[in-house]
Structure 1
């Protein structure tokens, strides 16, 4: 499991009573997200954000996309991403930001495990069929690729009283 090497409350953005949010709570919040956002950068530097259903496994975030999608094209040029999970509530909850690098998953055993995890996330929709280290696609013109986000930094934004920002480094 990927664990942060450093976890600290950032006093610049936190109430004086706030304490660091343990990484286990931050990871659980991300794992519970029905939808998260993935932010990539277009080749000209402009951002692109789109919702996705995250799967958390061994401390890493996974998502999949088709080879005809904007995020796929963006990742071919720049693999650096943001993963965002949270809600619009002001006075309760925990928002999560993960900065990392997205790399394609080709390990057959890992892909099969992720397909099992997605089966539970999608409530029977978007079943992933893994064959020979790749996800089979219903359309021959579209390749489905699963990406693993290897975290560099993460932030947990605790909302409410007390509010606080916890920084994590990997």
Structure 2
């Protein structure tokens, strides 16, 4: 006589068994899952063409802040030449600043500069929608087209040579409540 075929548990039953067998430690979310969830939410918001607030540092990027006058525009043109197209830069017409997206960890290695400030964690930045490419609100001066960021060495050299104004130091110190 043939034995009856075993009944396969449902997906819900299998999950309940796994949870019951798991230790208390395995029921805790992994420490980096909150970061992953935040990155996924950010990417979905950007894809949906919404402005998106992100934390600096981590695995994404830091930011170098400069004035957005003619000298800064000339620096972007130099970076176009250096990079074969400048990495991502956001212009904020209200503050008259450019935000240059640079590799993560740059803030920790950035020496004081008379015409630029580099910020990383724990600060945040709002990325404009990917389709915003003109004022009045912050917009992509140089669009983020790939995983390319602005290299700090050539950027620092360009900023030292061109000296963009207005410098952001005093306004950032007042806004952030820290000495730069």
TM-score range relative to shorter protein: under 0.3
TM-score (norm 1): 0.27
Determine which structure has more spread, i.e. the larger CA radius of gyration.
Answer: 2
Which structure carries more strand by proportion?
1
TM-score (norm 2): 0.26
* Greater relative contact order, per chain length (Cα 8 Å cut-off, separation 6+): 1
Which structure carries more helix by proportion?
2
